Amino acid sequence: MADSGSLTSSSDEPILSLENLTIGYGEPLVEDVNLVVKPGDIVSIVGPSGIGKTTLIRTIANLIQPISGTIRCSVPRRGGLGYIPQKLGLVRHASVYHNVDLGARAGTPFLSEPKSWLKRRNERVSDAIDKMGIFDKIREPVRRLSGGQQRRVATARTLAQRPKLILADEFLSELDEENISLVINSVKKYIDENDAAIILIEHDIKRAKEISNRMLVIDDGRLNPFVQDKVVQEVKI
């Protein structure tokens, strides 16, 4: 990737560190979360439904304030963090190009776009759409696409943004095996080339082990009957 955008660091400095984090909506949902994410990390968050995985991701994305604890995130406020929500967050009445361009827009400075930036932004968008294999749909409104195609649009938006940290909430669901490989390989390549990292929520533990190099398990006994209380622990892969 010739265009580095805001990503220039290749150090081992943590991109994100969570210290004694307690999250929830008023009432604590998950307590004592500790996590350090470094460049190259692919961290899966695994746990049963309703345990707080999405809440954790949304807290890291600064959409919810933590109840207590510290979040240290070294990425720039603008464009440094890519977020693929569970419902994808696509503008349904707009085209594929428009949606992916939102990511590229976030990856470029606000109100200071000389022609070269616009050209580069356009290249980023086309490149990301091409990688996701949906170039023939570039002018289609997103609402006309299938669920799997929409997931690829959301992934393309994040790739066009070139963030340092990607947060993805079940972004592989609704994809067939071929497209799962396409998406995962593209994201892994991006992470390697840009010293970025990804935290993803995955329901399928087997797949989480396959695609990630670290796994954070949040459990209350539903995954592991030996667990008595709600625990957050990193499991070796």
Partner 1 sequence: MNRLILAIFILLGLCYFVLFDLVDGNWGNLSGGWSNLSTFWNESLWPPDWTMLQAQTYPECKSSVGFFCSKAYLGMLETLKMAFVATVLGFTGSILLSPFAARNLYPMRVFLPIRMLLAATRSLPSIIWAIVLVAIFGLGPLAGVLAMTFYTIGYLGKLQYEEMEGIRNDPLEAARAMGLSRLEITVNVVIPESSNGLLSQLLFMFEYNVRHGTVLGLVGAGGIGYYLQFYMGFLLYDKVMAFLVVIFVVVVVIDLVSMSIRSFVNEEGDVKRPSWSTILLPPSSAVSYHHGQEED
Instruction: Tell which one of 72, 119, 144, 189 touches partner 1 (CB under 8 A).
Output: 144
Instruction: Tell which one of 37, 88, 215, 216 touches partner 1 (CB under 8 A).
Output: 88
Select the span of 27-35, 116-124, 159-167, 219-227 touching partner 1 (CB under 8 A): 159-167
Nearer to partner 1, 110 or 226 (CB): 110
Instruction: Tell which one of 1, 91, 118, 237 touches partner 1 (CB under 8 A).
Output: 91
Instruction: Tell which one of 5, 39, 47, 79 touches partner 1 (CB under 8 A).
Output: 79
Give the Cα separation of 232 and 80 in Å (integer). Answer: 26
Q: How many residues bind partner 1 (CB under 8 A)?
A: 38
- The identity of residue 29, as a single letter, is L
Instruction: Tell which one of 4, 62, 146, 213 touches partner 1 (CB under 8 A).
Output: 62
- Kindly report the length of the chain: 237
Residue 161 within binding range of partner 1, rule CB under 8 A: yes
Nearer to partner 1, 61 or 235 (CB): 61
Q: Phi and psi dihedrals of 214, rounded to 5?
A: -145, 150
Closest CA to 45 of 168, 180, 156: 168
Residues facing residue 83 across a β-bridge: 167
* Residue labelled with tokens 């190259």: 40
Half-sphere exposure of 109 (CA within 13 A, CB side): 8
Select the span of 20-28, 29-37, 80-88, 198-206 touching partner 1 (CB under 8 A): 80-88
Give the Cα separation of 183 and 216 in Å (integer). Answer: 21
Give me the 100-139 binding string for partner 1, x by CB under 8 A, dash otherwise.
Answer: -xxx-xx---x-----------------------------
Give the Cα separation of 190 and 171 in Å (integer). Answer: 16
Give the Cα separation of 153 and 143 in Å (integer). Answer: 11
Give the Cα separation of 96 and 144 in Å (integer). Answer: 10
Residues that bind partner 1 (CB under 8 A): 58, 61-63, 76-94, 98, 101-103, 105-106, 110, 141, 143-144, 154, 157, 161, 163, 167
